[in-house]
A = this chain, B = another copy of it.
Protein backbone atom coordinates (compact mmCIF):
# COMPACT_ATOMS: atom_id res chain seq x y z
CA UNK A 1 0.00 0.00 0.00
CA UNK A 2 2.85 2.38 0.95
CA UNK A 3 4.79 1.27 -2.13
CA UNK A 4 1.77 1.97 -4.36
CA UNK A 5 1.24 5.41 -2.87
CA UNK A 6 4.91 6.28 -3.34
CA UNK A 7 4.87 5.10 -6.95
CA UNK A 8 1.80 7.21 -7.68
CA UNK A 9 3.53 10.18 -6.06
CA UNK A 10 6.67 9.71 -8.16
CA UNK A 11 4.73 9.54 -11.43
CA UNK A 12 2.92 12.72 -10.35
CA UNK A 13 5.98 14.90 -9.63
CA UNK A 14 3.90 17.41 -7.62
CA UNK A 15 6.90 19.71 -6.97
CA UNK A 16 7.72 20.47 -10.62
CA UNK A 17 8.68 24.13 -10.95
CA UNK A 18 9.16 24.58 -7.21
CA UNK A 19 12.47 25.77 -5.70
CA UNK A 20 13.36 24.20 -2.35
CA UNK A 21 16.12 25.24 0.04
CA UNK A 22 17.08 22.63 2.66
CA UNK A 23 19.56 22.88 5.54
CA UNK A 24 21.11 19.60 6.68
CA UNK A 25 23.63 18.08 9.07
CA UNK A 26 25.21 19.50 12.24
CA UNK A 27 27.21 22.70 12.54
CA UNK A 28 30.72 22.89 14.01
CA UNK A 29 31.53 25.77 16.35
CA UNK A 30 35.29 26.41 16.56
CA UNK A 31 36.92 26.73 20.00
CA UNK A 32 40.44 27.13 18.51
CA UNK A 33 42.09 25.96 15.24
CA UNK A 34 41.75 22.27 16.22
CA UNK A 35 38.89 21.97 18.74
CA UNK A 36 35.16 22.39 18.18
CA UNK A 37 31.65 21.87 19.56
CA UNK A 38 29.20 19.82 17.49
CA UNK A 39 26.32 17.33 17.67
CA UNK A 40 25.44 13.84 16.46
CA UNK A 41 23.32 14.80 13.43
CA UNK A 42 24.36 12.67 10.44
CA UNK A 43 22.56 14.79 7.83
CA UNK A 44 20.78 11.65 6.52
CA UNK A 45 17.24 13.05 6.91
CA UNK A 46 18.11 16.35 5.20
CA UNK A 47 19.86 14.58 2.33
CA UNK A 48 16.95 12.12 1.98
CA UNK A 49 14.58 15.11 1.77
CA UNK A 50 16.77 16.74 -0.90
CA UNK A 51 16.87 13.55 -2.94
CA UNK A 52 13.09 13.03 -2.58
CA UNK A 53 12.34 16.67 -3.49
CA UNK A 54 14.46 16.31 -6.62
CA UNK A 55 12.58 13.12 -7.58
CA UNK A 56 9.28 14.92 -7.09
CA UNK A 57 10.34 17.57 -9.61
CA UNK A 58 11.76 20.36 -7.43
CA UNK A 59 14.92 22.40 -7.99
CA UNK A 60 16.93 21.72 -4.81
CA UNK A 61 19.71 23.57 -2.95
CA UNK A 62 21.18 22.06 0.22
CA UNK A 63 23.10 24.17 2.74
CA UNK A 64 25.00 21.46 4.57
CA UNK A 65 27.15 21.25 7.67
CA UNK A 66 30.04 18.73 7.72
CA UNK A 67 28.65 15.26 6.91
CA UNK A 68 29.98 12.02 5.37
CA UNK A 69 27.35 11.96 2.60
CA UNK A 70 27.52 12.72 -1.10
CA UNK A 71 25.26 15.33 -2.67
CA UNK A 72 22.20 13.69 -4.29
CA UNK A 73 22.34 13.77 -8.11
CA UNK A 74 20.97 16.97 -9.59
CA UNK A 75 21.00 18.93 -6.31
CA UNK A 76 23.20 21.94 -5.57
CA UNK A 77 25.12 21.80 -2.28
CA UNK A 78 26.70 24.69 -0.35
CA UNK A 79 29.04 23.28 2.33
CA UNK A 80 29.39 25.26 5.56
CA UNK A 81 30.90 24.74 9.02
CA UNK A 82 29.43 27.04 11.68
CA UNK A 83 25.92 28.34 12.39
CA UNK A 84 27.04 31.83 11.30
CA UNK A 85 28.29 30.39 7.97
CA UNK A 86 24.97 28.57 7.56
CA UNK A 87 22.94 31.71 8.22
CA UNK A 88 24.97 33.64 5.64
CA UNK A 89 24.48 30.94 2.97
CA UNK A 90 20.74 30.59 3.74
CA UNK A 91 20.16 34.35 3.62
CA UNK A 92 21.87 34.65 0.23
CA UNK A 93 19.79 31.77 -1.23
CA UNK A 94 16.38 32.12 0.44
CA UNK A 95 14.97 34.87 -1.83
CA UNK A 96 14.89 32.33 -4.68
CA UNK A 97 13.14 29.62 -2.62
CA UNK A 98 9.43 28.75 -2.61
CA UNK A 99 9.86 26.31 0.27
CA UNK A 100 12.46 26.34 3.06
CA UNK A 101 13.06 23.19 5.11
CA UNK A 102 15.27 23.72 8.17
CA UNK A 103 16.46 20.18 8.85
CA UNK A 104 19.99 21.01 10.11
CA UNK A 105 20.79 20.48 13.78
CA UNK A 106 22.24 23.97 14.15
CA UNK A 107 24.34 24.31 17.32
CA UNK A 108 22.34 26.42 19.79
CA UNK A 109 25.51 27.92 21.25
CA UNK A 110 29.02 28.81 20.07
CA UNK A 111 32.14 29.72 22.08
CA UNK A 112 32.07 33.42 22.93
CA UNK A 113 35.70 33.73 21.86
CA UNK A 114 37.57 31.88 19.16
CA UNK A 115 41.31 31.58 19.83
CA UNK A 116 43.77 31.83 16.91
CA UNK A 117 46.50 29.58 18.39
CA UNK A 118 45.91 26.08 19.72
CA UNK A 119 45.16 26.41 23.46
CA UNK A 120 47.84 24.76 25.61
CA UNK A 121 46.40 22.55 28.30
CA UNK A 122 47.63 23.63 31.67
CA UNK A 123 44.92 24.12 34.26
CA UNK A 124 42.95 21.19 35.67
CA UNK A 125 39.68 22.98 35.02
CA UNK A 126 38.65 25.34 32.30
CA UNK A 127 35.57 27.54 31.79
CA UNK A 128 34.16 27.82 28.32
CA UNK A 129 31.72 30.71 27.82
CA UNK A 130 29.09 29.94 25.21
CA UNK A 131 26.76 32.45 23.55
CA UNK A 132 23.54 31.81 21.68
CA UNK A 133 23.66 31.28 17.93
CA UNK A 134 21.15 32.98 15.60
CA UNK A 135 17.86 31.12 15.10
CA UNK A 136 17.96 30.68 11.31
CA UNK A 137 14.47 29.17 11.11
CA UNK A 138 12.84 32.13 12.95
CA UNK A 139 14.81 34.61 10.86
CA UNK A 140 13.61 33.01 7.62
CA UNK A 141 10.02 32.94 8.91
CA UNK A 142 10.29 36.66 9.76
CA UNK A 143 11.35 37.72 6.24
CA UNK A 144 8.91 40.04 4.41
CA UNK A 145 8.62 37.72 1.36
CA UNK A 146 9.03 34.48 3.24
CA UNK A 147 8.88 31.08 1.60
CA UNK A 148 6.72 28.23 3.00
CA UNK A 149 8.73 27.40 6.14
CA UNK A 150 9.09 23.87 7.52
CA UNK A 151 10.95 23.19 10.77
CA UNK A 152 12.04 20.08 12.62
CA UNK A 153 11.86 19.27 16.30
CA UNK A 154 13.82 16.53 18.04
CA UNK A 155 12.33 15.97 21.46
CA UNK A 156 12.89 13.51 24.28
CA UNK A 157 9.50 14.18 25.96
CA UNK A 158 6.06 15.83 25.43
CA UNK A 159 6.44 15.68 21.64
CA UNK A 160 3.18 17.37 20.55
CA UNK A 161 3.31 20.07 23.20
CA UNK A 162 6.84 21.22 22.32
CA UNK A 163 6.28 20.85 18.56
CA UNK A 164 3.05 22.94 18.54
CA UNK A 165 4.74 25.53 20.77
CA UNK A 166 7.69 25.80 18.36
CA UNK A 167 5.30 25.97 15.35
CA UNK A 168 3.45 29.02 16.69
CA UNK A 169 6.37 30.72 18.49
CA UNK A 170 8.59 30.66 15.38
CA UNK A 171 5.63 31.34 13.02
CA UNK A 172 6.36 28.22 10.93
CA UNK A 173 4.00 26.79 8.31
CA UNK A 174 4.74 23.23 9.37
CA UNK A 175 6.81 21.25 11.85
CA UNK A 176 7.99 17.63 11.67
CA UNK A 177 8.75 16.17 15.08
CA UNK A 178 10.52 13.00 16.08
CA UNK A 179 11.10 11.43 19.44
CA UNK A 180 14.88 11.06 19.79
CA UNK A 181 14.52 9.21 23.09
CA UNK A 182 13.58 6.09 21.08
CA UNK A 183 16.75 4.06 20.57
CA UNK A 184 16.28 2.83 17.00
CA UNK A 185 15.03 5.96 15.24
CA UNK A 186 16.14 9.53 14.68
CA UNK A 187 19.71 10.81 15.01
CA UNK A 188 22.25 8.90 12.97
CA UNK A 189 19.96 5.92 12.27
CA UNK A 190 18.46 4.62 9.01
CA UNK A 191 14.86 4.48 10.30
CA UNK A 192 12.68 7.33 11.43
CA UNK A 193 9.06 8.17 12.27
CA UNK A 194 7.54 11.64 12.26
CA UNK A 195 4.55 13.49 13.67
CA UNK A 196 3.75 16.43 11.40
CA UNK A 197 1.84 19.48 12.64
CA UNK A 198 0.57 22.61 10.86
CA UNK A 199 -1.74 25.34 12.20
CA UNK A 200 -4.97 23.65 11.06
CA UNK A 201 -4.05 19.97 11.08
CA UNK A 202 -1.64 17.11 11.67
CA UNK A 203 -0.64 13.71 10.38
CA UNK A 204 1.52 10.81 11.55
CA UNK A 205 4.11 9.18 9.30
CA UNK A 206 4.84 5.78 10.87
CA UNK A 207 8.34 4.31 11.20
CA UNK A 208 10.03 3.39 7.92
CA UNK A 209 13.34 4.04 6.14
CA UNK A 210 14.33 7.70 5.79
CA UNK A 211 13.93 7.71 1.99
CA UNK A 212 10.26 6.57 1.97
CA UNK A 213 9.59 8.87 4.91
CA UNK A 214 11.12 11.82 3.03
CA UNK A 215 8.85 11.21 0.03
CA UNK A 216 5.78 11.05 2.28
CA UNK A 217 6.75 14.21 4.16
CA UNK A 218 7.32 16.10 0.90
CA UNK A 219 3.89 15.00 -0.27
CA UNK A 220 2.37 16.54 2.88
CA UNK A 221 4.49 19.68 2.38
CA UNK A 222 3.45 19.97 -1.30
CA UNK A 223 -0.22 19.69 -0.33
CA UNK A 224 -0.10 22.32 2.40
CA UNK A 225 2.14 24.61 0.30
CA UNK A 226 -0.43 24.54 -2.55
CA UNK A 227 -3.28 25.12 -0.13
CA UNK A 228 -1.53 28.18 1.26
CA UNK A 229 -0.78 29.45 -2.29
CA UNK A 230 -4.42 29.01 -3.29
CA UNK A 231 -5.61 30.83 -0.18
CA UNK A 232 -3.23 33.71 -0.94
CA UNK A 233 -4.42 33.82 -4.56
CA UNK A 234 -8.05 33.93 -3.35
CA UNK A 235 -7.19 36.82 -1.01
CA UNK A 236 -5.49 38.68 -3.87
CA UNK A 237 -8.51 38.14 -6.14
CA UNK A 238 -10.88 39.41 -3.47
CA UNK A 239 -8.57 42.36 -2.95
CA UNK A 240 -8.62 43.38 -6.63
CA UNK A 241 -12.40 42.96 -6.88
CA UNK A 242 -12.84 45.33 -3.96
CA UNK A 243 -10.65 48.01 -5.45
Residues of A within 8 A of B (CB): 31, 33-41, 68, 105, 107-109, 112, 117-118, 121, 123-132, 154-157, 180, 187
Q: Is the CB of B37 within 8 A of A35?
A: yes
Q: Is the CB of A121 within 8 A of B109?
A: yes
- Report how many copies the assembly holds: 2
Q: Is the CB of B118 within 8 A of A154?
A: yes
Q: Is the CB of B125 within 8 A of A128?
A: no
CA distance A87 to B60 in the complex (A): 45
Q: Ordered nearest first, which 7 A-B pairs have the shortest CB separation?
A: A108-B121, A128-B128, A126-B130, A68-B68, A34-B39, A35-B39, A124-B132
Q: Is the CB of A156 within 8 A of B37?
A: no
* Given contacts A34-B180, A37-B35, A180-B118, A131 and B127 within 8 Å (CB-CB): no
Q: Is the CB of B36 within 8 A of A38?
A: yes
Chain B contacts for A41, CB-based, 8 A = 34
Chain B contacts for A112, CB-based, 8 A = 125
Chain B contacts for A37, CB-based, 8 A = 31, 35-37
Closest to A30 in B: B40
* Given contacts A130-B125, A130-B128, A132-B124, A156 and B35 within 8 Å (CB-CB): no
Other A-B contacts than A35-B107, A127-B127, A128-B128, 20 sampled, CB-CB below 8 A, are A34-B39, A34-B40, A34-B41, A34-B105, A34-B187, A35-B37, A35-B38, A35-B39, A36-B40, A37-B37, A109-B121, A118-B155, A118-B180, A124-B132, A125-B130, A126-B129, A126-B130, A126-B131, A127-B129, A128-B130
Chain B contacts for A39, CB-based, 8 A = 34-36
CA distance A154 to B155 in the complex (A): 39
